[in-house]
Amino acid sequence: MEPVIQVDHLKKYFSTPRGMLHAVDDVSFTIEKGKTLGVVGESGCGKSTLGRTIIHLHEATAGKISLEGEDVTKLSRKALREAREKMQIIFQDPYSSLDPRKTIRSTITEPLKVSGKMSKAEIEIKADDLMELVGIDQRLRLAYPHELDGGRRQRVGIARALALDPKFVVCDEPVSALDVSIQAQVLNLLKLLQESKGLTYMFVTHDMSVVKHISDDICVMYLGQVVEKCESKELFRNPMHPYTKALLSAIPSTNIHNPMKREILYGEITSPINPKPGCRFATRCKFATEACSQPQIQEEVSAGHFVSCCRIKELG
Amino acid sequence: MDNTQAVRAKKNSELMRILRQLSKNRLAVVGLIIIVIELIVAILAPYIIPYDYTTMDMASTFATPSLKHLFGCDDMGRDIFSRVLYGARFSISMGVLSIAIATVIGCTVGAVAGFYGGWIDNLLMRFLDIIQAVPGLLMNIVIAAILGPGFINTIIAMAFGYIPGMARMLRAQMLKERGNEYIEAANSINCSKFRIIVHHLIPNCMSPIIVQATMGVAQAITLAAGLSFIGLGIQPPTPEWGAMLSGARQFIRQAPHLIFFPGLAIAITVLALNLMGDGLRDALDPKLKN
Amino acid sequence: MDKVTKFLSVKDLVVEYASDGETVHAVNGVSLEVERGKTLGLVGETGAGKTTIAKAILRILPDVGCKIRKGEVYLDGEDILKLHENEMRKIRGNKISMIFQDPMTALNPVQRIGEQIAEVVKLHNDEHVNPEDRAKEMLEIVGIPAERYYEYPHQFSGGMKQRVVIAIALACNPDLLLADEPTTALDVTIQAQVLDLIGDLRKKYNTSMLLITHDLGVVAQVCDNVAVIYAGNIIEYGTKEQIFDHPSHPYTKGLFGAIPDMNEDEEWLHPIEGLPPDPTNLPAGCAFAPRCNYACEVCMKEAIEVAKTTDGHDCRCCRLAEIAREEE
């Protein structure tokens, strides 16, 4: 079975006055139908840029993106329009991702209007279905975003993303801006929709507990590179890369009787502009050696578990 | 779904909210009422003026205000009250039309520059720089002088000077809004660039433009009066307020009422527009919701 | 009242805002205490009133549209709400300091960071302390090289900016630190650094702290006592152990239940259904009742009193006995 999304050696660089910013640097993965790939990392790791590049909000600098087996890396305008209907995105900030001057009904029907494939009546029916699907009361149709709370706004964002019946949805930190009790509601909704519609997700987040709950596989990113990639449970059971370990141990745990021994990472994150070759984590890694300044190769350390660290065999 | 939160799905359209906010500012409401009255007067002028504005009654030259002639008569025996009321048509329409033209052209230029950026932005901004390099009033005078006096010519001359300000203001708003996620969202659902600019960006950029336009009408009315005063713009006997001031200049000592009433008309209109503009600015700024 | 240990004591604080012609009941009769040298975590979600409480203590609420309707705030025995503004100014930054949530906007972008620290020292200290020296000392203490005194905020990363904010807050050795979500805007590895730093400094100077957060993990790491706030009311109060091991109020239980568990694999999360109430239109009775699985007639109608227990674990709920029975 073709994976829904396959990304090979994807690169996205931005040209800035201070030099070339390596936002996404040689990232590869596949996502099977109905599965969720969690992408975790901290600021500047490139996870949001990655999502946006896959769905063509940015144009890839190099590499290949395949959607259901077809190469969608560089597309003509017409082909792009078709491809976009299969790949959608849910944004992080419920406060800036909805047009403040449009009613939520208008926001939900817009993708349908723009695609021009449905009649007015059909659009209305579809919009009703979408609102019901994501759990927004019909009497809120004419409400404006500023009248709704974050959770409801996010539901509108989800309805908009699903309007064109996409196969693949990039969820860019969709619950990070929400309160804990609302987060749980929205996460449940996303899972429900995935099961009922067979959606494939790429779930970008910095919150490890959320990513654990929702992902089948996880990719850990640091400064544009993938440092570790494996099945979700495996990552938490057996993290290998020093950064992954530090990341997991930095999370403040609610277990007050057995707090994990925390590893504090010293130093600051280096700049993604004109980075030197080699491991970008080396400046903060307590195991760094000379060999770390060479370009790192991603190795399959155990079945399905990939790590980019030249010292992994010795440390493991 | 859930009924705990009282979500106000009442007819809470943006317009209603703005009007409600505006109504809390008493001065702004006063300004609005004055403008509405002036508009009604301007529209109904031909039907409500007691005398025709050109009728000369040589027996009543320089007549002081009385019950027969509420504002007195000018040097040609014409009823000043009728002329002031009729003159509202010229002054207000010149102010509104010149700003309207400047806003449409300015916003188009600003929208294109702000959205596309790059060399288009550069080219357009440098072009505006050239226009703005000439001091404002001088620019208007030069163009008015080239085109000659007259209603349409004066409107064009005035509009030209306001275009760069409007363009820059819209461009600045564009640059700010362009970075918002809802624009990325519009891209992701295949909106054309045109649709993004017209449907999404411009409506969200209009608040400061509306305020600027309202204040601009006040400035334009004053400018029109100024141009007429110096011999461009509208010339007497047309009862444009500035022209009336110009014609009455020489009589200021012996018959100040010739200057006083048109001058008062200008002052009140400008004040009312400014009050309204200030009120609009506060009403449109969501951060001042108090 | 035991004035020696209860360094900060807030009693029945009520704060209202005027917004859009309506009254927002932000804080509705909050009482809490912080002991010397200890940390109280104030936990709640957006709009619960936490930041308002901190600003009320420091008396930096906006003058227009905001009113402290009633209540007392005792700092070391003295009611600071009754102080004149001049005297309050001597306290702010000196005896009580605040760390704000967003380091990106908490610093003045056109002033050197060293000068921003020195400014606090200048305002509060006697002449024999050189502000610049003290500022450089503080920079070293928070882990920033003293040479960076002369740099501007934009030259620092988020984590470092927050350290500068901490340096400003602690420059005059305050007795009480109000920390409003100090690490929410930071990456998790930087958060760990900053929490560690705050912890070390507190121990060194024996500073009391009121930590406002929505993150129960942070509370577990840093706090001694916990107060849970919902719709402007403290609904549960106790030591960290009491709250984490035996959460009593349905809302507190709901909060713990809604967090994805790192150790268990669950198919579905357990959200708290519904939404927080509208602060301009609070329901009669318990504010949480509309969302509560255990709510009864009384809950919907009457204001609920705090049920005090002998060991200091308080809960604002009248159904505790029934809930305990149901769980057995």
CB C34 within 8 A of CB C212: no
Please name the helix (run of DSSP H) or strand (run of DSSP E) that holds residue C208, with its range, or none: strand C208-213
Q: Which residues are registered as beta bridge partners of C315?
A: C236, C307
Q: For residues C294 and C292, what is the distance between their CA atoms, to the nearest angstrom?
A: 5
Say if the Cβ atoms of A99 and B12 lie within 8 Å: no
C278 touches chain B (CB under 8 A): yes
The answer as to whether A71 is a domain residue is yes
- Tokens linked to C153: 């905020």
pLDDT per position as a tens digit, B118-136: 999 999 999 999 988 988 7
CATH number for the domain formed by residue range(s) C6-95+174-248: 3.40.50.300
Short-list A98, A213, A220, CA closest to A154: A98
**Spans of all domains in chain C:** 6-95+174-248
Give φ, ψ of A284 to 5 degrees: -115, 5
Q: Where are the alpha helices (DSSP H) in C246-317?
A: 250-258, 297-301
Going from the C-alpha of C88 to that of each of C58, C65, C92, C202, C284, the distances in angstroms are 8, 21, 6, 23, 36
What does the mean pLDDT of chain A come to? 89
DSSP code of residue A37: E
The partner residue sitting opposite B5, judged by closest CB among C19, C20, C278, is C278
Instruction: Report DSSP letters for A238-253, one per residue.
Output: S--SHHHHHHHHHSPP
* Total tally of structural domains belonging to chain A: 1
CB C226 within 8 A of CB C237: yes
For residue A137, what are the contacts with CB-CB under 8 A and spacing of at least 6? A131, B1
- Tokens linked to B124: 């357009």
Chain A positions touching B181 (Cβ under 8 A) are 91-93, 96-97
For residue C30, what are the contacts with CB-CB under 8 A and spacing of at least 6? C10, C12, C13, C49, C53, C71, C229, C232, C233, C234
pLDDT per position as a tens digit, C155-194: 888 888 998 999 999 888 888 999 999 888 888 888 888 8
pLDDT per position as a tens digit, A139-160: 888 888 888 888 899 999 999 9
The partner residue sitting opposite B7, judged by closest CB among A52, A135, A148, is A148
Q: For residues A236 and A40, what is the distance between their CA atoms, to the nearest angstrom?
A: 13
Q: Where are the alpha helices (DSSP H) in A6-149?
A: 47-54, 77-86, 104-115, 120-134
pLDDT per position as a tens digit, A77-107: 889 888 999 999 999 988 889 998 889 999 9
Q: Where are the alpha helices (DSSP H) in chain C?
A: 50-58, 85-91, 103-106, 113-124, 131-141, 158-170, 188-205, 216-222, 240-245, 250-258, 297-301, 320-327
Interface test with C, best of A92, A179, A187 (most C CBs within 10 A): A179
- Which pLDDT belongs to residue A66? 93
- In this prediction, residue B13 has a pLDDT band, given cuts at 50, 70 and 90, of low
* A200-205 and A36-40 beta bridge pairing: parallel
The partner residue sitting opposite C259, judged by closest CB among A180, A246, A265, is A180
pLDDT per position as a tens digit, C27-85: 999 999 998 889 999 999 888 889 999 999 999 998 888 889 899 999 988 898 889 99
The answer as to whether A249 is a domain residue is no
CB C101 within 8 A of CB C185: yes
Confidence check on the interface: ipTM exceeds 0.90, yes or no: no
Short-list C187, C197, C188, C190, CA closest to C166: C197
Distance from CA of C297 to the nearest CA of A (A): 25
Q: For residues A219 and A215, what is the distance between their CA atoms, to the nearest angstrom?
A: 10
Q: What CATH number corresponds to the domain at position A228?
A: 3.40.50.300
- Which pLDDT belongs to residue B149? 81
Say if the Cβ atoms of C220 and A213 lie within 8 Å: no
pLDDT per position as a tens digit, A220-248: 999 999 999 999 999 999 999 999 998 88
C192 touches chain A (CB under 8 A): yes
- In this prediction, residue B1 has a pLDDT band, given cuts at 50, 70 and 90, of very low
Interface test with C, best of B1, B3, B4 (most C CBs within 10 A): B4
Interface test with A, best of C154, C186, C188 (most A CBs within 10 A): C188
Give φ, ψ of C226 to 5 degrees: -135, 135
The sign of the CA dihedral B240, B245, B250, B251 is positive
The answer as to whether A298 is a domain residue is no
Q: Strand A305-307's sheet: what is its strand order? A: A87-90, A168-172, A200-205, A36-40, A217-222, A225-231, A305-307, A299-302
- Which pLDDT belongs to residue B286? 57
- Tokens linked to C94: 């000196």
Short-list A270, A271, A265, A268, CA closest to A250: A265
Say if the Cβ atoms of A160 and B181 lie within 8 Å: no
Q: Which percentage of chain A shows pLDDT scores above 90?
A: 51
pLDDT per position as a tens digit, C115-133: 999 998 888 876 778 899 9
End-to-end CA distance of chain C: 38
Say if the Cβ atoms of C268 and A251 lie within 8 Å: no
Say if the Cβ atoms of A91 and B187 lie within 8 Å: no
Residue A18 DSSP SS3: coil
Chain A positions touching B188 (Cβ under 8 A) are 55, 57, 84, 88-89
- Which pLDDT belongs to residue B11? 43
CB C166 within 8 A of CB C100: no
Domain with A70 in it:
5-236
Say if the Cβ atoms of C65 and B5 lie within 8 Å: no
* C225-230 and C233-239 beta bridge pairing: antiparallel
Distance from CA of C230 to the nearest CA of A (A): 12
- Tokens linked to C82: 């009754």
User: Side chain identity at C62, as an amino acid letter?
Assistant: P
Say if the Cβ atoms of C19 and B290 lie within 8 Å: yes
- Tokens linked to B253: 């000592």
Q: For residues B281 and B178, what is the distance between their CA atoms, to the nearest angstrom?
A: 22
- Residue bearing the bigger pLDDT, C263 or C215: C215
- Tokens linked to A166: 């996409």
Distance from CA of A59 to the nearest CA of C (A): 27
B203 touches chain A (CB under 8 A): yes
**Taking the CA of residue A114 as centre, how many other CA atoms within 13 Å lie in the half-sphere pointing to its CB?**
26
- Which pLDDT belongs to residue C188? 85
B184 touches chain A (CB under 8 A): yes
For residues B68, B74, B78, B84, the Cα torsion angle rounded to the nearest 10 degrees is -80
User: Side chain identity at A189, as an amino acid letter?
Assistant: L
Residue B192 DSSP SS3: coil
Of A115-129, B167-181, C262-276, the range with the lowest mean pLDDT is C262-276
B55 touches chain A (CB under 8 A): no
Q: For residues A63 and A67, what is the distance between their CA atoms, to the nearest angstrom?
A: 14
B181 touches chain A (CB under 8 A): yes
Distance from CA of B281 to the nearest CA of A (A): 17
Q: For residues C3 and C103, what is the distance between their CA atoms, to the nearest angstrom?
A: 34
Say if the Cβ atoms of A183 and C256 lie within 8 Å: no
- Tokens linked to C56: 């009320």
Say if the Cβ atoms of B188 and A144 lie within 8 Å: no
Q: Which residues of B159-186 are buried (b: 16+ CB within 10 A; e: fewer)?
A: bbbbbbbbbbbbbebbbebbebbbbbbb
C133 touches chain A (CB under 8 A): no
Orientation of helix B257-284 relative to helix B202-229, angle to 10°: 170
Say if the Cβ atoms of B189 and A160 lie within 8 Å: yes
A121 touches chain C (CB under 8 A): no
Residue B96 DSSP SS3: helix
CB B174 within 8 A of CB B205: yes
- Which pLDDT belongs to residue B207? 84
CB C76 within 8 A of CB C96: no
Q: Where are the alpha helices (DSSP H) in chain B?
A: 14-23, 26-48, 80-116, 118-133, 136-147, 151-178, 181-188, 193-195, 202-229, 241-248, 257-284
Name the residue of chain C whose CA is nearest to A247's CA. C189
- Which pLDDT belongs to residue C57? 92
Say if the Cβ atoms of B4 and C275 lie within 8 Å: yes
Say if the Cβ atoms of B2 and C275 lie within 8 Å: yes
- In this prediction, residue B4 has a pLDDT band, given cuts at 50, 70 and 90, of very low
Burial of residue B212 (CB within 10 Å: 0-12, 13-18, 19+) is: buried
Q: State the pTM of this model.
A: 0.84
B2 touches chain C (CB under 8 A): yes
Say if the Cβ atoms of C217 and A269 lie within 8 Å: no
Distance from CA of C277 to the nearest CA of B (A): 5
- Which pLDDT belongs to residue B9? 41
Whether the pLDDT of residue A125 is over 90: the answer is: yes
The answer as to whether A42 is a domain residue is yes
- Which pLDDT belongs to residue C1? 44
- Which pLDDT belongs to residue A45? 87
C256 touches chain A (CB under 8 A): yes
Whether the pLDDT of residue B108 is over 90: the answer is: yes
Please name the helix (run of DSSP H) or strand (run of DSSP E) that holds residue A67, with its range, or none: strand A62-67
- Tokens linked to C106: 């908490």
Chain B positions touching C273 (Cβ under 8 A) are 2
For residues A256, A259, A263, A269, the Cα torsion angle rounded to the nearest 10 degrees is -40
B67 touches chain A (CB under 8 A): no
Orientation of helix A150-162 relative to helix A180-197, angle to 10°: 20
CB C146 within 8 A of CB C154: no
Residue C74 DSSP SS3: strand
- Residue bearing the bigger pLDDT, A217 or C4: A217
Name the residue of chain A whose CA is nearest to B194's CA. A114
Chain B positions touching C276 (Cβ under 8 A) are 4-5
Chain A positions touching B191 (Cβ under 8 A) are 110, 114
Q: Which residues are registered as beta bridge partners of A62?
A: A11
- Which pLDDT belongs to residue C5? 57
- Which pLDDT belongs to residue C93? 83
- Residue bearing the bigger pLDDT, B22 or B262: B262
- Tokens linked to C65: 């549209």
Say if the Cβ atoms of B286 and A146 lie within 8 Å: yes
Q: For residues B228 and C73, what is the distance between their CA atoms, to the nearest angstrom?
A: 67
State the chains in contact with A (3 or more Cβ–Cβ pairs under 8 Å): B, C
The partner residue sitting opposite C269, judged by closest CB among A42, A213, A259, is A213
- Which pLDDT belongs to residue A167? 93
Q: For residues A100 and A210, what is the distance between their CA atoms, to the nearest angstrom?
A: 29
The partner residue sitting opposite A139, judged by closest CB among B9, B188, B200, is B9
User: Side chain identity at B24, as an amino acid letter?
Assistant: K
- Residue bearing the bigger pLDDT, B14 or C167: C167
Burial of residue A43 (CB within 10 Å: 0-12, 13-18, 19+) is: middle
The partner residue sitting opposite C189, judged by closest CB among A184, A246, A259, is A246
Short-list C75, C104, C69, CA closest to C88: C75
Cis omega (within 30 of 0) on the bond before B237? yes
Distance from CA of A9 to the nearest CA of C (A): 27
Name the residue of chain A whose CA is nearest to B202's CA. A101
Name the residue of chain A whose CA is nearest to B205's CA. A101
